Amino acid sequence: MIYVTRPTLPDIQDYIDQIKGIWERHWLTNNGVLVRQLESELKEYLGVKNLSLVTNATMGILAALYALDLEGEVITTPFTFAATTNVLFMKGLTPVFADVDPETFNIDPVDVERKITKKTSAILAVHVFGNPCNITALEKIAKKYKLKLIFDAAHAFGVRYKGKSICEYGDISVLSFHAVKLFNTVEGGAVITKTKELTHKCELFRNFGFESEEEIVSPGINAKMSEFHAAMGLCNLKSIKKVIEKNKRFFDLYMRLLGGTNVKFQKPEIARVVHTYMPVCFDSKATRDKAHEYLMKSGYSSRKYFYPLTSDFEYLRGKSTKTKIGKELINAKNISDTILCLPLYPTMEKRDIEKICKLVKEVC
Ligand SMILES: Cc1ncc(COP(=O)(O)O)c(C=O)c1O
């Protein structure tokens, strides 16, 4: 079976060499040497000033919500992974869903502005599949209504926007380093903030709110990255250039082979986008479901990503009377019903992509 993705692993000897020092230091977690080294290397690689590692992006977004001290309603996209919406709910915030742009799949700034009320405290947008949101428009809205702006940048490792890292926009951005992401630390993530003060708040959050040994100054949780995870990150960072290049080559091959068919591609907001996903939309839900099954039968997995919309989660309807379910999420619903992410990872074979495209064309 060819899976939709396959984690990048470093050379095993490289990892062994990296973790040897852990036995010498006997320091396994709690802001160890390797965590600090990875933070420093990532700041340099990404070109960002304030970055803290966390256990995963889910915790990173939760840290952002606490650090910004949000209340009331947060406008967000329903076309995302469960984590984005779940953490809002867990923090006691009300997710208010705005529709997405039918071409870029990202939150539509016009609908965001339409959904603002007196209770709105922030916008939580997602750079879907690493494709940048309409950052300029979202920043303008945030400024006009004095709202905080958070970017779930789980898919956007290494993406640059108008000459700088995409994570330098908004108040806080959060990256995911989960096993299947472009850059992985097995499980992991990073919170990038606009100010040192916000970073300090996120770092308090990731360590139970401890300011010092006997002083807890804010609510916090255990969201610390271990030395073993950081070691994996240090190894994988060495091969990131190759991973990006290979994925791009395969992405371009897909585009070439599927161009001219009636599958629809996500429209890139800007030119330089890294490729972790190969999303395609079919002309109907029935065709999408058929393609999903047909590929599976032929030994290729694909993923209905994101399906269902998070606004359709049963728990939002059942438990919370506060939760505003968007009624008019037509574009999001259409994309969610017709999308399929095809296999894309650097160790794929070219012939697999050719076969997948042939199967997709047969279904079309
Ligand atoms: C858009 C989005 N946000 C958040 C997450 C959560 O990331 P993590 O698994 O690192 O918690 C994911 C995971 O795939 C995601 O796709």
What is the predicted pLDDT for the residue at 102? 97
Looking at 220, 238, 256, the residue that finishes a domain is: 238
- Give the structural domain span for 177: 12-238
Minimum-distance ligand 1 atom for the alpha carbon of 56: 10
Output the six-digit token pair for 343.
């296999």
pTM score above 0.85: yes
Looking at 192, 220, 238, the residue that finishes a domain is: 238
Same domain for 302 and 333: yes
What is the predicted pLDDT for the residue at 82? 97
CATH number at residue 326: 3.90.1150.10
Same domain for 199 and 169: yes
State the chain's mean pLDDT as an integer. Answer: 95
**Up-side HSE of residue 220: CA atoms within 13 Å toward CB?**
20
Domain count, the chain: 2
pLDDT (mean) for 332-353: 97
Q: Is 189's C-beta closer than 6 angstroms to any atom of ligand 1?
A: yes
Same domain for 246 and 127: no
Extended strands (E) in the chain: 50-54, 73-76, 94-97, 120-126, 148-152, 160-161, 164-165, 172-176, 189-193, 210-212, 215-216, 264-265, 278-281, 339-342
Is residue 319 scored above 70 in pLDDT? no
Same domain for 256 and 159: no
Domain contains 147: yes
Q: Is 18's C-beta closer than 6 angstroms to any atom of ligand 1?
A: no
Is residue 327 scored above 90 in pLDDT? no
Is residue 322 scored above 60 in pLDDT? no
What is the predicted pLDDT for the residue at 316? 82
Looking at 215, 238, 261, the residue that finishes a domain is: 238
Q: Is 199's C-beta closer than 6 angstroms to any atom of ligand 1?
A: no
Domain contains 82: yes
Q: Is 63's C-beta closer than 6 angstroms to any atom of ligand 1?
A: no
